[in-house]
Amino acid sequence: MIPLSWYLLLSAALFSLGVIGFLIKRNLITVFMSIELMLNGVNLSFVTFAHQWHLVKGQIFVFFVMVVAAAEAAVGLAIIIAIFRTRATLAVDRIDLMKL
Amino acid sequence: MHLVLFIVFAGLCLAGAINLLLQSHPINSALSLVVVMSSLAVLYLLLGAEFLAAAQVIVYAGAIMVLFTFVVMLLNAGREERTLGSRSAKAIGFPAVVAVLSVIATVILKAQGFTPVALSDNITSTADLSKVLFHELLLPFEVTSVLILIAILGAVALARPAHDERRGRTEAGK
C-alpha cells in the first residue's frame, strides 16, 4: 500500500524536469524530447486520478493525448528536417529568423 | 511488493529524465527517454491501466522514439554548443521551475481524501475501456483518425525537398 500522492509527486517532478530541459537545452531535437517528457508527466497524473475516482474516461483522455503526441511528433520532426535542409543547423540560437 | 516496484521504476524514471538533461549528445538523450517511457508503462500497470501500459510501450517507446532516433541519425546531430542564451535561461529558469514545483508539491501533500493504492485493486480491462470509447466517445475517436491522416499528409509535404531543389537533383542525376 503506497499513498496515491507519490504518483502525483512523480508526475510533477517529471513535468518540471521537462520544463527545465525545454529551457536549458540548445539542440532543437532535445527541446522537442523535453516536450514529450512533459506530456508523459501529465499522462501519469491523468492515470492516477482515473484510479482514484474509478473513472475510465481519464484513461481514455491519456489515449487521446498519445494520439495527438504521435501526430505532433511526426509533423514536428518533419519541420525539423525542413529547417535543417534550409539552414544546416539544429542550434535553437541560430534559428532566429522571426526574432525581433 | 508494490512499494518495491514503485520505488525501482519511479527511480528509473527520474534517473532517465535527469540523464536526458545531462547528456549533451541527442542520441543519448533519446535513449534515456526510452527508459523513462518504459518505466512509466510499468507504473501504469501498477495503477491498473493495462491497455495504456501496452499502448505506452508500443506508441511512445516504440513508434515515437524510433522516429526521434531516426531523425537524430538522419541529420547527424552532433554535440550541442553552450551559448549566452542557455546561461541566462539557467539563471532565470531554475528558480522559477523550483518555485512552481514546490507550489504543486505543497498542494498535493496538503490534499485530503486520496486512497492508498494496492496491487489487489481493480484493473481496468480493455473491454471496459472500449465500451466507453466506442459508445460515448465514438465521434472524438473517429475525428482523431482524420487528425492522424492530416498529420501524415503534413509530414510528407513538409519533409520532401523543395521544388527547385528536387529538379536540380534529378538534373544532376542525368
Report ipTM for this prediction.
Answer: 0.91
pLDDT in tens, B54-89: 999 999 999 999 999 999 998 887 776 666 666 777
CATH code: domain B1-114 is: 1.20.120.1200
Contact B105 A77 (CB under 8 A): no
The residues, any chain, with a CB within 8 Å of residue B167's CB and separated by 6 or more, are none
Q: Which of the residues B69, B115, B138 would you substitute to probe the A interface, choosing the one with the greatest number of A C-beta atoms within 10 Å?
A: B115
Contact A37 B161 (CB under 8 A): no
B130: buried, middle or exposed (CB in 10 Å: 19+, 13-18, 0-12)? middle
Rounded to an integer, what distance in angstroms lies between the CA atom of residue B127 and that of residue B129?
5
The ranges assigned to domains in chain B are 1-114, 123-174
Rounded to an integer, what distance in angstroms lies between the CA atom of residue B13 and that of residue B37?
8
pTM: 0.89
Contact A47 B20 (CB under 8 A): no
Nearest of B35, B33, B42, B46 to residue B12 by alpha carbon: B35
Rounded to an integer, what distance in angstroms lies between the CA atom of residue B120 and that of residue B134?
28
Q: What is the pLDDT of residue A11?
A: 95
DSSP string, A58-80: HHHHHHHHHHHHHHHHHHHHHHH
Low-confidence ranges of chain B (pLDDT < 70): 80-86, 120, 163-174
Q: Which residues of A touch B122 (CB under 8 A)?
A: 54
Q: Which residues of A touch B30 (CB under 8 A)?
A: 29, 33
Place of cell 509533423: A75
SS3 call for B36: helix
Q: Across chain B, how many H-helices and E-strands are there?
A: 8, 0
Q: What is the pLDDT of residue B168?
A: 63
Contact A74 B111 (CB under 8 A): no
